[in-house]
Chain A
Amino acid sequence: MVKQKGILYDSTMCVGCGECYSACKKQNKLPETNSDFLKDHLSANTYTVVEQHGDLYARKMCMHCAEPTCASVCPVKAFEKTKEGAVIYDAEKCIGCRYCMQACPHQIPRYEWSQVSPRVRKCVLCQNRISKGLPTACSEACPTGATICGDLDDLKIEAKKRLSEGSDKYYQHIYGLDEAGGGSVLILASVPFEKLGYTPNLPKQPMPQLTNRVMEKIPTVATVGGLFLGSMYWLTKRKNEIAREEKEAKFKRNEVK
């Protein structure tokens, strides 16, 4: 059994140098999109950004959800959660309905709007590196250890340890542990997370459950509906026939008279 990999990003250690940003661009062969990386935003050519919020920094990227919403809404299963934990995308399957972009609770997937045959773009947790046991490009590049890569279980323990040891340094919450069912990216911060632009108030349950509850009812609706309609057809037809026979009988009786 392969152990799931993950990323722990501790924003209290982040100095906003942008090494992760550049390493990601290089790893994924993405063109330059902004001369000042702090002003850049996620796009088809940028899978991760470092944002400045006052004197604090915050990295944004795909959270690699344990039960990815993007994968559950995609009609053709273009997304897949690999055994290493990365959520990857197959453009060959994609029909371009963009439901994944609409549905992602973290609003991550981006689109190649300028292309004639566009693809959905986002961080893929360096799937081809982590599957070989290598760390992601961003964590390898990070000079301060703010972004580290490792076995997800170990990272969870480490994050909890940091919170309990530095109770005055940290805002006591691990973002990404429970958000929308949790995922492979964990984030620590010194202030409430919405101050750093992370989506607040996400439910703890995985989002796909919201739809599954309804989708499960489909077979019942179909069978009960079919039976109901079938019997209604038979009943009303019979009722009409009886009514007609009665009327005809009455008509005849009247004639006889």
Chain B
Amino acid sequence: MKNSNASKLSFWKIVAAVIMICGLYSSYIRFTKGLGASTHLSDSIPWGLWIGFDFLGVGLAAAGFTIAVMVHVFNIHKFEPIVRPAILTAYIGYTLVVLLLIIDLGRPQNFWHPLVMWNLHSVMFEITWCVICYSAILTLEFAPVVLEKYNLTAPIKILRKISIPVVILGVIFSTLHQSSFGSLYLIVPGRLYPLWYSTLLPVNFYISCIAAGLSMIIFESYLNARAFNLGLRLDILSGLAKIVLYVLIIGFLVRITDMIITGKTPFLFLPRTETYMFYAEVIVGTFIPVYLLSQAKYRKSRMWLYVISIFTLSGFVLNRINVAVTGLVASSKTSYFPSFDEISITMMLVVLGMWAFKLVSTKFPVFVELENLKEEKLPEDSREMILSE
């Protein structure tokens, strides 16, 4: 038993090493030979896999602000144990996104230009600023975890004092840039396929990122439970799942109402790739999870919650890929499939992210539920009272 576990581990280590080597090689090509040599991007498809991955990274990291707002602003302390894993996920997600953006930029040596050359009309400018500010805020939010380990109480006290304004600022920056990823496409009404183009794109992006971010926590928590025996309590997960259910329903209603009002329903019946992709997205990401989540018996099973979270996340991935690639291919009159270098650099970043998550969560008190809750300063019963809120 032990033996097979060990061989399984080293198998994944080898896979990770191969991915890393390919990724580093591809990065070398990217920076010495340019984007043309390393990607399948072209004048008609100027954005590809990398931008799609940025969308995903930022969207899946959305739990960082949703959980923070529930616990610190709405004082729902039941979700306290998820705060740290959520913030760590967000932190790693954003670091990867920023790294990939810099790789993707044609002139990466100028990446700092938006800091000094302002264009207040540009959505891209706004996103850049929000991502930078939010990353700074995530640093502040995560700092106590690191400081705690080294018993540096003085800075922790200061951070506690400013924690509420910091959380609120973080929520605002998140709201702005999560929705702005949708606003990026407002300017291409003629190019983005009508099933996805909408003046409500920012709203749709915002709602869907909340469902995806929370599902990501359910998903991670299941994997962590298997890897380190550090799970989250089932009632917390079920609580999250319920929120996911409501958010999915709201998101779907907003989209369908908008389609009816703007007269886009005929597009639902055209026999085209776009239509099929749209149905794939809605069935996988909305109908199936909503059906399952609406039944208590599935909400109360770890295994089912895990499966449902995979559905929700796949639907989210499909949605972003549909907007970033599927919806634009027809109008660009070319086809696009990412190159080896594009894929290997992306996979390298995924491996780096997983490795960072594992490293940080084993070295620092990220999953505090089991150890720390008992040492809380609050008297036992008052703690319960808050928890039972």
A interface residues (Cβ-Cβ under 8 A, vs B): 42-43, 69, 72-77, 91, 93-99, 101-103, 105, 107, 110-111, 113-118, 199, 201-203, 207-208, 210-212, 214-215, 218, 221-222, 225-226, 229-230, 232-233, 236-237, 239-240, 243-244, 247-248, 251
Contacts and interface: CB of A to CB of B under 8 A. Distances in A.
Given A75-B124, A98-B47, A114 B34 contact: yes
Nearest to B39: A113
Contact of A207 (B33, B47, B128, B187): B187
B41 A113 contact: yes
Given A110-B43, A251-B381, A211 B117 contact: no
Contacts of A113: 34-36, 41-43
B122 A98 contact: no
A72 B186 CA distance: 13
Contacts of B202: 214
Given A101-B46, A225-B172, A226-B168, A208 B121 contact: yes
A61 B77 CA distance: 60
B117 A77 contact: yes
B124 A97 contact: yes
A225 B170 CA distance: 11
Contact of B75 (A75, A114, A230, A240): A240
Interface of B: 31-37, 41-44, 46-47, 69, 72-76, 104-111, 113-114, 117-126, 128, 164, 168-169, 171-172, 175-176, 183-184, 186-190, 199, 202, 381-382, 385-386, 389
B385 A244 contact: yes
Nearest to A114: B36
A215 B190 contact: no
Contact of A93 (B74, B117, B171): B117
Contact of B107 (A74, A75, A95, A202): A95
A212 B382 contact: no
7 contacts: A75-B113, A93-B113, A111-B43, A210-B189, A221-B172, A225-B172, A233-B73
Contacts of B104: 97
B78 to A, nearest CB: 12
Contact of B119 (A74, A203, A230): A74
B188 A218 contact: no
B117 A244 contact: no
Given A111-B106, A117-B106, A232-B73, A222 B172 contact: yes
A169 to B, nearest CB: 29
A99 B171 CA distance: 26
B171 A116 contact: no
A212 B107 CA distance: 27
B112 to A, nearest CB: 9
Contact of A208 (B172, B187, B188): B187
Kindly name the residue among B42, B46, B126 whose own CB sees the greatest number of chain A CB atoms within 10 A: B46
B175 A221 contact: yes
A75 B111 contact: no
A95 B175 contact: no
A98 B106 contact: yes
Nearest to B127: A75
Among all A-B residue pairs, the 10 with the closest Cβ atoms? A96-B106, A113-B36, A75-B125, A98-B46, A96-B107, A75-B124, A236-B75, A76-B117, A101-B46, A114-B36
Contacts of B122: 72-75, 99
Given A73-B122, A99-B184, A210-B189, A93 B106 contact: no
Contacts of A99: 122, 124, 184
Contacts of A203: 189
Contacts of B107: 91, 94-96, 117-118
Nearest to A230: B168
A103 B187 contact: yes
Nearest to A203: B189
Contacts of B42: 113
Contacts of B172: 221-222, 225-226, 229
A76 B113 contact: yes
A94 B124 contact: no
Contacts of A229: 69, 73, 168, 171-172
A202 B382 CA distance: 64
Contact of B108 (A96, A102, A225): A96
Contact of A202 (B128, B171, B187, B190): B190
